[in-house]
Structure 1
Amino acid sequence: MTRVVIAPDSFKGTASAADVAAAIARGWHSVRADDELIERPMADGGEGTLDAFEVAVPGARRMPLTVRAPIASPGSAPVATHWLLLPDGTGVVELAATSGITLLDRLAPLDAHTAGYGEALGAALDAGVRRLLLAVGGSASTDGGAGALAALGARFFDDDGRVVPLGGGGLARLARVDLAGLRPLPAGGAVILGDVTNPLLGAQGAAAVFGPQKGADASTVAVLDGNLARLAALVPGVAAETPGAGAAGGTGFGLLAWGAEMGGGAALVARAVGLDRDLAGAGLVVTGEGRFDGQSEAGKAPSEVARLAVSAGVPVALIAGSITAEPRGFATSVALTGLAGGADAAMTNPLRWLEAAGAELARERWSDARS
């Protein structure tokens, strides 16, 4: 009998981390029924972070609330969501669950905003949290966190003293920033659970790297980058070059301006779920994410799981929807696109192909991973 730890991230927009882990486990057990499987859903600050903490921390409580939609347009319904209160008084607030890209019916690169995230942060402050963990992946917008800060009491004005519209496009009118009314951090501070180290501006910045995922073409990327530069010039205390300032469409920048500290999302989640303890005596670790690409090594969940596994002397396997970069550090890997015959088929029924991937690892790849 072998102990196998299954610690994947979510497959964004198609399956939660818990569902991914369960599907891989079903596939594995269909081939090796006697093995001990430990399911540890992971996250790196993006979609699924609340779920990972809820599973890992006994006594964690969902705190329901309703926030405004991530785009202000006719017919946009408010978002029914929640944040998580941990027994020690820490609040975990997830941007993907409040102002995330999966909440949009259509992409809106200039108009999407983070105001709903700010409203959720305000609700956590109203509840008296001692500390905040700020999960910021999966955003719909490129507004530099201005929407979130506005919901927390900051004000953003144009030349005529009028409040600028929400969204990255509205920042083109920005002339003055007033942070005097910004609500203070809780006594224990706030830590940003980020999965990227990108700066705010430039070729590696929020607009250039992440804007296309949010519907921005080349000309829109240029507009958004210029608007973020305008914001950065008017907000004191944070350099646009700060690693992680470009996270979540620049929300990292806004949260740093609020006084939050940057942290490693995947590392903090791994610590919370006790992944180190699970690795003791394991024969294999299986991790994964929807798309393994050039950004995956920059602090995302699979790279953190692999780092911990290698340190513990345990081989690690990767399952991903697609694999477009060399999966260094993994003993073996499986892409769902290869099993399903293409990306469309893999995305249409991901749990089926995740089961197939788990079975394939157990049946055909396990001997390779051990050798």
Structure 2
Amino acid sequence: MNILVAMDSLKGSLSSVEANKAIAEGFFKANSAFKVQTVPIADGGEGTAEALVHATNGQLIESVVTGPLGQPVKARYGILGDRTTAVIEIAEACGLPLVPEAERNPLIATSYGVGEMILEAVEKGCQYFIIGLGGSATNDAGVGMLQALGYRFLNKQGFDIRYGGAELKNIAKIDSSCVPEKVRTARYRVACDVHNPLYGVNGAAYIFGPQKGATAEMVKELDDGLKCFANVVLEQFGVELQHISGAGASGGLGAAFAGFLQVQLESGVGLILEMAGLEEKLQEVDIVVTGEGKLDRQTSMGKAPAGISRLARKHGLPVIALAGDISDGDSPLHESGISAYFTIVSGPVELEAAMDPEAARSNLKRTAEQIGRLLCLSMKKEPRDGSLASEA
């Protein structure tokens, strides 16, 4: 039996690669004759770079860039096996976890480090970029990133504005003459699974600002700044940022990519599964195993397991989904193509204990073994011990 395992990460516990390996070990414990192929995947957020690097035999690069509060931070990005495509998660440079809760302030937080990562990858020969949005501490409309890339944002006195969302209202003119040609000619694909506009009651400031530390007064100031920025862009370049679905993603980074780098924002799951070559890998598979930390209604609305299930259903393949928490599972999961779903937790347990990496690894392995034994019954073969799988 040919089994394809494509788990998303179990956030705070195991990466996609680690989860896949544990499941493969469980299947081989049930039957060494199983053929198990593992594919690391993600939904465009956390774990995207690692998943695509493993899927394409690329490499992870460690760098030091400007963090959201201006301090140096360590950030990782990936270069895929073709050596010309870089994968960048913006949260590595300006993510919310990089800022202590008491210091969160989107009025001063900057996305500058994202631009530094892009520039470094360009210098390493990358011409194509996969960008994962999500989890930012910023609300600067991506202006910080654009400043790092060579764009100048000038106030009425002709001076460069400073960093942060508070400066957006001071923008009077944009100068793009210093942007390197390699940045202009590079091709960018951006994974974005939110559809919020740049400003307004459903925009970046009102919807996401409070979780980044913004008070009600700050939200109003940030939203006014985003509107001012959009008006300058419309007047100078004729681009209506407010009409771009997803422009408000990651504090307005969606607007920066779409409006300045001519990017079409895409479904994160669809983009990542395409880059991982998942559909091609389904050609000689009998069953698919996927999952994530929690399966619920949100899973069927664009997360990785649902995307995998839809592809599998297209090829007539059954899908088993595993998760630590399935308490909110319901019919939309089956409608998305998941044939059956199971929890890996064996009994009542505190969340912290369930998320312990060793416990999660053991639970995945045990559950996969039991599923493997059930598959053996359907094949009318007795399970037998075997060796471990390798990551494909």
Asked whether the equivalents of residues 139 and 209 of structure 2 are also in contact (C-alpha less than 8 Å), the reply is: yes
2:279 aligned with 1:276: yes
Equivalent position SS for 1:134:
strand
Work out whether residues 199 and 240 of structure 1, in 8 Å CA contact, stay in contact via their aligned partners in 2: yes
**1:141 offset after TM fit, Å?**
2.3
Is 1:119 the counterpart of 2:126? The answer is: no
Report the identity percentage.
32
Is residue 44–residue 194 contact of structure 1 (8 Å, CA) maintained in 2? no
Judge conservation of contact 1:142–1:224 (CA < 8 Å) in 2.
yes
> Does residue 333 in structure 1 map to residue 369 in structure 2?
no
Structure 2 letter corresponding to 1:182: V
Distance apart, 1:227 and its partner CA: 3.2
Residue 41 of structure 2 is matched in structure 1 by 42
The CA deviation at 1:358 is 5.0
Give aligned pairs, total. 363
Q: Which has the higher contact order (CA 8 A, sep 6+)?
A: 2
Q: 1:134 aligns with which of 123, 126, 131?
A: 131
Query: Taking structure 1 as reference, are residues 108 and 147 closer, same or farther at Cα in structure 2, changes over 3 Å only?
Result: same
Q: 1:4 to 1:204 in 2, by over 3 A?
A: farther
* Mapping of residues 180-199 of structure 1, within 5 Å: 180-184=177-181, 185-187=183-185, 189-199=187-197
| Separation in 1, partners of 2:298, 2:225 | 24
Who wins on radius of gyration, i.e. which is larger?
2
Q: Distance in 1 between matches of 2:278 and 2:135?
A: 23
1:1-371 to 2 correspondence within 5 Å?
Answer: 2-31=1-30, 34-58=33-57, 60-72=58-70, 76-84=71-79, 86-87=81-82, 89-106=84-101, 108-110=104-106, 111-184=108-181, 185-187=183-185, 189-216=187-214, 220-236=218-234, 237-262=239-264, 263-292=266-295, 295-322=298-325, 324=328, 326=330, 327=333, 328-329=335-336, 330-335=338-343, 341-347=349-355, 349-357=356-364, 359-360=366-367, 362-363=369-370
Deviations 1:28-55 (A, max 9, x none): 4455554332211102222222212221
The answer to whether the 8 A contact 2:60-2:76 is kept is no
Q: Any idea what SS the aligned residue of 1:55 has?
A: helix
CA 1:340–1:217 in 2, change beyond 3 Å: closer, same or farther? farther
In 1, Cα distance between equivalents of 2:56 and 2:368: 30
Unpaired runs of 5+ in structure 2?
379-392
Listed one character per residue, the Cα deviations across residues 194-225 of structure 1 (whole Å, up to 9, x for unaligned) are: 23333323454334444455445666555444
CA distance 1:209–1:28, change in 2 (3 Å): farther
Residues 126 and 285 of structure 1: is their aligned pair in 2 closer, same or farther, counting only changes over 3 Å? same
**CA–CA distance in structure 2, aligned partners of residues 170 and 254 of structure 1:** 15
- SS of the residue corresponding to residue 79 of structure 1 reads strand
Q: What is the CA deviation profile of residues 170-189 of structure 1, one whole-angstrom value per residue up to 9, with x for unaligned ones?
A: 43554544444334445352
Instruction: Tell me the secondary structure at the aligned position of residue 141 of structure 2.
Output: coil
Residue matched to 2:385: none
Q: Is the 8 A contact 1:191 1:260 kept in 2?
A: no
3-state DSSP of counterpart to 2:86: strand
| Letter in structure 1 aligned against 2:104 | A
* 1:151 partner amino acid: A
Q: Contact 1:132/1:186 (CA < 8 Å) preserved in 2?
A: no
Q: What SS class does the counterpart of residue 261 from structure 1 fall into?
A: coil
Deviation larger for 35-44 or 167-176: 167-176
* 1:302/1:124 CA distance change after superposition, 3 Å: same
12-21 vs 355-364, which deviates more? 355-364
Whole-angstrom distance in 1 between the partners of 2:14 and 2:105: 24
- The one-letter code matched in structure 2 to 1:261 is V
> Cα deviation per residue 1:297-349 (whole Å; 9 max; x = unaligned)?
454322211111111111223334545464342222245678563433333x1
Post-superposition offset of 1:254: 0.6
Counterpart residue type for residue 24 of structure 2: A
Post-superposition CA distance 1:79-114 (Å, at most 9, x none): 253441542623333323333334344462413321
User: 1: CA distance between counterparts of 2:152 and 2:339?
Assistant: 51
